[in-house]
Every structure is written in C-alpha cells, then in structure tokens.
Amino acid sequence: MTVDRLLPTEDGADLVELAHEIAVAELAPCAAAAEAAGQFPREKLRMLGEAGVLGLPYPEELGGSGQPYEVYLQVLEELASAWMTVGLAVSVHVMSLYPLATFGTGSQRARYLPDLVGGQRLGAYALSEAQAGSDIAGMTTRAERAAEGYDISGAKAWITHGGVADFYTAFVRTGEDESGISCFHLPAPALGLTFGAPEHKMGLNASPTTALYLDAVHVDDDQLLGAEGQGMKIALAALDSGRLGIAACATGLAQAALDLAVGYAKERVQFGRPIAELQGLQFLLAEMAAAVDTARACYLQGARRRDAGLSFTRDAAVAKMVATDMAMRVTTDAVQVLGGYGYTRDFPAERYMREAKVTQIFEGTNQIQRLVIGRQLLRTPVGGSGGIPPGSNS
C-alpha cells in the first residue's frame, strides 16, 4: 500500500506500521485462495487479537490499547487493503463490542471484555431483520419476561459472522414503540439459537452471512446491556462508529485497486511504450487517486471529531457514503485499466470490484446515509454548528 500517513502519536505510527507488516506478510498471500474456497479466517483474527488490534479504540482499563479512533481506522484500512474480509471482520467485531464497553456495567465488562478484545472470542451485531433492515423501529424480534431473565424469539437477517461468532450483540423489542427496544449480550451456542444457510454472495465469500433464528432463547438479567428500552440509542451510537469502520475498509479496498492499476500501467507495453505514458490513462489514475484521498480525509474528519468528543453522526454518514461510492467507482476503473485481464480471476481487480459493491449496502445503504445527512442539515440552525447528539440518526 503506497500511503504516506500522518499519525497523531509515535505509538500510532508504530501500530499502523505493524498492521502494514501483518497485512503484507500474513493476509495478502492468503486472500485470493480463501475467498475462492469460502474459508473464514478465524485464526487470522485470533492473531490480530493477540497483537492488540481488536482492542485498539477501547481504554486500557478495559483491556484495550486506548488509541485514538483515527489510529484504529488507519490500521483497519491497512488490513482491508490486503484482505477485505479481515478488515470487515475487525470492523464488525469492534462495533459489536461498543455496547458492552460503553453501556455495560463494571461486572459485565470484567466478565466478557478480556476474551473479546484479546481475540479469543468473536462478536457479531444482530440488528437487521428481513422486513426491517434500516427501519430499526420496525423490528419484531421480542424478549418476553421470564421468571428470571428473558426469553427471546424471532429472527435476524444479514448477520456477518452468523454461525461462527461466539456472541451476538442483539437488539430486540421489549416494549411497543421506539423506546421499547433493548440490547442484549447473547453468548453462543445457546439453546434455541440456530442459523440459516450462508448466503451465496457476489463477494466477500470468506465472510459468512446468515439469518439468525431465536426460539425462546433464554438470557439472564445480567446479559441486558444498558437499561431496558435504551436499545435504540445504543444501536444508533454503535452504527455511527461502525460506519466510519466501513468507510476505512472501503478506502483500503480502493487503495489496493489503485495500487494494482498503477503497477499494471507501468508494466503493460502497447505500441512500444508503457501504457502509463498515455495521458488519458494518467488522467484516469489521477482521478482514482484523488477519490481515494478524498475518502480518507472524510473518514479521518469523522474520527477526529469522535476523538474530540464532538457530534459525528453526519460526518460518519458522509464518510460512509463518499468512501463506498468511491470504492465502487475506483475498483471498476481498475478493471478497465487492466482491460481483459481485469475481467479474469488471474488478477484481483474483479474481486475488488465485487467486494466493493456490498459496502454501499451494509451498515445502512447509501440512500439511508443521504437521508441521515439531509435530516441533520435540516435540524441545524442556519449558520450554526448543529449540536446534534452522537447517535441521533433520524
């Protein structure tokens, strides 16, 4: 990856360099074969946990590294540039920890977090439902009060890490309106918890995506994260951070496509000279590079506002929209630069293009991001800075 980065601390620079070394030595050589075979990289994630990557943005007292979010996201970009499935897995896992780390009690954090930030246990985020993807208020999965704890019944859809995760951060209905959604830490396996067959997807084939079925799955009272009815706030706050993660992953994927295109253009000879000398191609590569740089600036803007304790809902939506639309465009252009070779599986350009598409869909489609941005703008007084609290997406 050819990126000259500015990091806020010397430790941050060292961590990004470590991530780059891991990406080059451990991830890139495995990616194509594992994607073709649909092999989930569980051991790679365990290795990243042991290296401290999975706890980067969480405080040291919780077992993390206490790094700024802008450091974590640039680490994530490095990983995704080598293997998008791994970048996505880290992003989803770190997002799934957010409710526990932020809203959990001291005893809950002490009980669950050490194994989670250390990579021994892998998380998933169970929010979407088949008929309520981005409409959180439309969910129907319900937790009913039992003699002790709750019994949860219903179904979740499009769960990244479905069937392979060791716990699910699950959002379910405990009341009748938006204030009646609650968040639970749901360990797996559990009696009554089953999964659908993995979805047959266009890309990211090494990352399992399944439905999650709950048939009176019992959870104890101490598996409720935050207060009953606080789930909507928790879900939206986690999604803000998760959208920055997807933006960083999309930027890494596009950077890999750009690097591939530049390398090919330097080597490919037509009419007695490298095609990189053709002005038209130079202009295309320049546009690709400018788009990648713009996306990186967007996600770093959101991260820096988050690190400063400022509202970043709109910034996260902008970053997710800009970076993922850019990734689709840049990976498509990379296929064009490689010509016929770009359309074959002898080069990774076609895989990059297939993987880019879903980034415009998950963590809220880019149409939803436009809705979030528009609503944030209309809530902001003319000439004002906003003051919208983090996590207020609608």
Report the distance separating Cα 338 and Cα 263, nearest Å.
Answer: 10
User: Hey, what's the torsion of the CAs at 219, 221, 222, 223, to 10 degrees?
Assistant: 30
CA distance 237 to 390: 6
Using DSSP's 3-state secondary structure scheme, residue 234 falls into helix
| 36's tokens | 């073709």
Distance of CA 178 to the CA centre of its chain: 25
Phi-psi region of 332 (alpha: psi -120 to 50; beta: other; left: phi over 0): alpha
Separation CA 107–CA 266 (nearest Å): 57
Active site residue 60: no
Q: Quick check: 40 and 208 in contact, CB under 8 A?
A: yes
Spatial distance between the Cα atoms of 332 and 257, rounded to a whole number of angstroms: 9
Map residue 151 onto helix, strand or coil: strand
Residue with the two structure tokens 């490298």: 274
From 70, 129, 350, 363, the catalytic residue: 363
Please give the positions annotated as active site: 363
